[in-house]
Structure 1
């Protein structure tokens, strides 16, 4: 009963945080509101969440990483793949090595392996927190794609580094040769298992659907189980479950393209996954807040680990770590973007500037906000060593990681909107021509299918004039669309404007229909079942119209 109450408290806090962050006059990011609400829960109730590291890792990370891999725009990622890899792999390794030695130097009482583990968990960034911060100041789309790609890959690379650091702490030794060989197996097998599981499950699901029909609820449940299955299978073979979940998500994109589910299934599945993502990310930050009172209560004891007596030293350590992370990221981002610009000048355009704008570098640096993955990773530190003794400086590492998360969120929420205001990136090639060509191709395919269908129906049922008239009305609609998309840019722009106007008018009409149905149901002129059916049809039309 206590566990159920805790879960309900957490979910209510997540719901309230979403509304509260929109009501506040200041642009305070939702994660900070969730941390505050979690702290209030921890202070006002007698319930305490005892987090099992392995259970926490299993419940939260696989679905979140799977969804990131599934939804990230693959083509946009490939455009800036070099920059993404430099940030997600090179910067992570630099952060783990550099900050590991810095943390151990600043806090000698923290063993080097534990310092590397802490550096590994603070290396991944959280684009969801960045999106929440930049909600009121639109972040440039290309920058957001880079941050999303970086986060997807550095989550995996950071957590793999954490795994090696924890293994070194548990065994008391580290071999670079063994670690390199182990990394090849851990990464390669993890990725392979994620791909194989996703392909096998989606093929089996498609075969069953073709033979026996598709059931929406079971399709959604299967998509929810894939990341957990990939993770558990990879961990069983001592591979990276994290990379397996990421690979499963990326593979899901291509598997779904070739084996499409029903439209109703896709719509409901997207809604379910949106809810899962919102709930899990929110619960992680609420849990961070809920743990803070206990962490702060033990600050006096935690600081003794470092050899000091004043808890203010913990704040100094957090500031030192945040400053080190910011400095490393700023230098790395500047170098990475400068190399990218130099490559562009050499390959294509001599008008490309030699050096990136400082505001762009600063914004990219501040956008490296730590969040859910950092908290999830630090909470997975073992409770004890192999010999049963407590894991060294575990509470200190959790305290410092929590401090880094909060400090990075506060800094970004204060400074990132200022830096993003008016910031523009180099213009991207327009995808409008590609979109228009795809629409024309689809319209032509629809016309061919309608022509074929009306001939078949006329031969089977007679009354050819009736089927010809019906088919002509539909085909004329498609021909008008083809004509508007196939002419010059000026005509196409006018057609797109007309499309927007028609869309707005359709939405207003649908709103009026819904209002009339609701009023009729309230006045008992139609039954509730009829009203629900009609409103659902209108909802589907509205979703389709909004695109």
Structure 2
């Protein structure tokens, strides 16, 4: 099949599988996509794609890591830097050494340096798969932040460890001093290169938009899409980590966006574009993994003498050891950091055996593991085949599938047994920020003394101003009343309320939000009816519906938080109707 046709087919299947996953909620989306890819390529005349690991790393990984760096909450990321670094760096080293020796002992025909390479390949985790599995299951927010931060950084540490293991296999030489120096150069250089690219783009964008405003929003979004590739290519060209460069560019760009509150069009286009890119690229990655399965299994003819059950046993043993090493590291190396973060208020949930088990099962492997395994060279310097390469690729693929399956079954069970989380701190902070914004808007309605002085002889202007500002003040007061669900009121009357009275107040708040949503739906239906009757044109329809869509998005988010605060379960969602 032609390359263009293949790309279009993979993107289409990614979209269709995403829709199918909405109806088959018992099976996580990554597993559906892997199975679909395998079915497409299994027949002799099925779809077969020559997988180029370097091209794969360039096309798919930088934009996804850039988007993760751009989206991840920076306050929580830096507040939890200790457990994140201990997972992203310490756990990778612990895994490479411990698992490497175990693999060599378990399968003696795999040389020790190749065993270290396999351990390095399976050390990076995949937060994309974790979020796909735990969606709507109640993974603690701060724990998810730690997992996201870990996956952002351990891709680089795992691939650097792989590079040294492969070099030791090719040359027979290894030096801990050189490895440490090289790692520091690769990591710090990659972060610096990405930050420089992000800062340079931010400066250029500021200069351009200062002159033309939001008119160039589309062009700025296109340049933003190209930036992770530029950061990755520049970093790889100078010999540092392109993966960390893409992450650093995303973080730097996010900080630069804090000074661009006035550019509404650019912001909306950017959010929509990155949502599309993340959805399509994530789907393509797992479909490509499935497409490679038949060829990976077909390359195992040399190891048929082990027997299928023995090979599967190796996969189960290595995967189980990988999760056990993660559990041990969480217990010995990270638990104290998590406890300290809980005591200082940076983490709401205290470390517990169930939370530790959930974090262990969340160590799912994915796209970077596959790309790293397939990037192992085919030949040694002397022209001989790289030792046990096919077995390495097979075992790495088996670990991906095993951790996905175990996480898909185990994580939902563990999360259901975790204590029900209260209102997230971010939801309370968001409500307080909305209240502060409304109060600031009311204060801004008071005219400046200079303005009053200019119009003191114009009673008509003063009357009009008072009428308009009065209407706006009333509107903002209504919004403040709507935001007040009773959970943050500290008046003596509110403090004297019984829990049942407070719950009824919150139920009324839920009811009001649900009724507002029903009104929005009625408005939208009417607008479409007006368009069908040709009383408004398409441009007017899009503009009006966009306003309603933004309002509905905000209301739905507040409704979900309000139901959680009121103790309503999914079955009670219709309480207010």
Pair in the same fold by TM > 0.5: yes
Q: TM-score w.r.t. structure 2 length?
A: 0.83
The equivalent residue for 2:232 is 231
CA contact (8 A) 2:364 2:403 kept: yes
CA distance in 2 between counterparts of 1:244 and 1:388 reads 34
CA contact (8 A) 2:339 2:351 kept: no
CA distance in 2 between counterparts of 1:89 and 1:511 reads 50
1:320 aligns with 2:330: no
Alignment of 1:384-423 (within 5 A): 384-386=379-381, 389-423=384-418
Superimposed CA distance per residue, residues 19-75 of structure 1 (whole angstroms, 9 cap, x where no aligned partner) = 2223226x2111110011001110255432111121111111111111111211222
Moved more, 240-249 or 502-511: 502-511
CA contact (8 A) 1:91 1:329 kept: yes
Alignment of 1:182-197 (within 5 A): 182-197=182-197
Superimposed CA distance per residue, residues 504-544 of structure 1 (whole angstroms, 9 cap, x where no aligned partner) = 33332221122122233334454444434433343344345
CA distance in 1 between counterparts of 2:41 and 2:448 reads 64
Superimposed CA distance per residue, residues 128-172 of structure 1 (whole angstroms, 9 cap, x where no aligned partner) = 222222235322223222222222222222122223223333443
What RMSD, in angstroms, separates the aligned Cα atoms of the two structures? 3.4
CA distance in 2 between counterparts of 1:437 and 1:20 reads 38
Which sections of structure 2, spanning at least 5 residues, go unmatched?
496-501, 558-577
1:102 aligns with 2:102: yes
Superimposed CA distance per residue, residues 397-439 of structure 1 (whole angstroms, 9 cap, x where no aligned partner) = 2211111111111112222222221313897984566545544
CA distance in 1 between counterparts of 2:489 and 2:551 reads 29
CA contact (8 A) 1:383 1:394 kept: yes
Q: Determine helix, strand or coil for the equivalent of 1:184.
A: helix
Moved more, 203-212 or 14-23: 14-23
CA distance in 2 between counterparts of 1:403 and 1:278 reads 24
Q: Per the alignment, do residues 358 and 263 of structure 1 end up closer, same or farther by CA in structure 2, a change over 3 Å counting?
A: same
CA distance in 2 between counterparts of 1:321 and 1:542 reads 48
The equivalent residue for 2:563 is none
1:24 aligns with 2:24: yes
CA distance in 2 between counterparts of 1:245 and 1:173 reads 31
Aligned equivalent of 2:527, options 483, 508, 517: 517
CA distance in 2 between counterparts of 1:31 and 1:458 reads 66
Q: Per the alignment, do residues 313 and 442 of structure 1 end up closer, same or farther by CA in structure 2, a change over 3 Å counting?
A: same
CA distance in 1 between counterparts of 2:297 and 2:132 reads 26
CA distance in 2 between counterparts of 1:93 and 1:113 reads 14
CA distance in 1 between counterparts of 2:118 and 2:550 reads 47
CA distance in 2 between counterparts of 1:227 and 1:529 reads 34
CA-CA distance at 1:270 after TM superposition: 1.3
Alignment of 1:123-138 (within 5 A): 123-135=123-135, 137-138=137-138
1:424 aligns with 2:423: no
The equivalent residue for 1:35 is 34
Q: Per the alignment, do residues 455 and 290 of structure 1 end up closer, same or farther by CA in structure 2, a change over 3 Å counting?
A: farther
Q: Determine helix, strand or coil for the equivalent of 2:148.
A: helix
Q: Determine helix, strand or coil for the equivalent of 1:213.
A: helix
Q: Per the alignment, do residues 11 and 433 of structure 1 end up closer, same or farther by CA in structure 2, a change over 3 Å counting?
A: closer
CA distance in 2 between counterparts of 1:181 and 1:289 reads 37
Alignment of 1:143-292 (within 5 A): 143-214=143-214, 215-260=216-261, 262-292=263-293
Alignment of 1:66-85 (within 5 A): 66-85=66-85
CA distance in 2 between counterparts of 1:482 and 1:257 reads 25
Moved more, 290-299 or 238-247: 290-299
CA-CA distance at 1:238 after TM superposition: 0.7
CA distance in 2 between counterparts of 1:542 and 1:482 reads 17
CA distance in 2 between counterparts of 1:71 and 1:160 reads 25
Q: Determine helix, strand or coil for the equivalent of 2:98.
A: helix
CA contact (8 A) 1:202 1:259 kept: no
1:473 aligns with 2:468: no
Moved more, 144-153 or 279-288: 144-153
The equivalent residue for 1:376 is 371
CA distance in 2 between counterparts of 1:290 and 1:226 reads 29
Q: TM-score w.r.t. structure 1 length?
A: 0.88
The equivalent residue for 1:141 is 141
Q: Determine helix, strand or coil for the equivalent of 1:373.
A: helix
Q: Determine helix, strand or coil for the equivalent of 2:411.
A: helix
CA-CA distance at 1:264 after TM superposition: 2.6
CA contact (8 A) 2:116 2:165 kept: yes
Q: Determine helix, strand or coil for the equivalent of 1:382.
A: coil
Superimposed CA distance per residue, residues 266-286 of structure 1 (whole angstroms, 9 cap, x where no aligned partner) = 222112111211111111111
Q: Per the alignment, do residues 82 and 22 of structure 1 end up closer, same or farther by CA in structure 2, a change over 3 Å counting?
A: same
CA-CA distance at 1:96 after TM superposition: 1.0
CA distance in 1 between counterparts of 2:218 and 2:341 reads 49
The equivalent residue for 1:295 is 296
Q: Per the alignment, do residues 537 and 326 of structure 1 end up closer, same or farther by CA in structure 2, a change over 3 Å counting?
A: closer
CA distance in 1 between counterparts of 2:288 and 2:23 reads 22
CA-CA distance at 1:88 after TM superposition: 1.9
CA distance in 1 between counterparts of 2:377 and 2:525 reads 57
Q: Per the alignment, do residues 324 and 433 of structure 1 end up closer, same or farther by CA in structure 2, a change over 3 Å counting?
A: closer
Moved more, 244-253 or 458-467: 458-467
Which sections of structure 1, spanning at least 5 residues, go unmatched?
none
CA contact (8 A) 1:118 1:401 kept: yes
Give aligned pairs, total: 538
CA contact (8 A) 2:37 2:291 kept: yes
Q: Determine helix, strand or coil for the equivalent of 1:258.
A: coil
CA contact (8 A) 1:95 1:119 kept: yes
Superimposed CA distance per residue, residues 474-499 of structure 1 (whole angstroms, 9 cap, x where no aligned partner) = 23434565688696367698998776
CA distance in 2 between counterparts of 1:178 and 1:344 reads 34
CA distance in 2 between counterparts of 1:295 and 1:339 reads 41
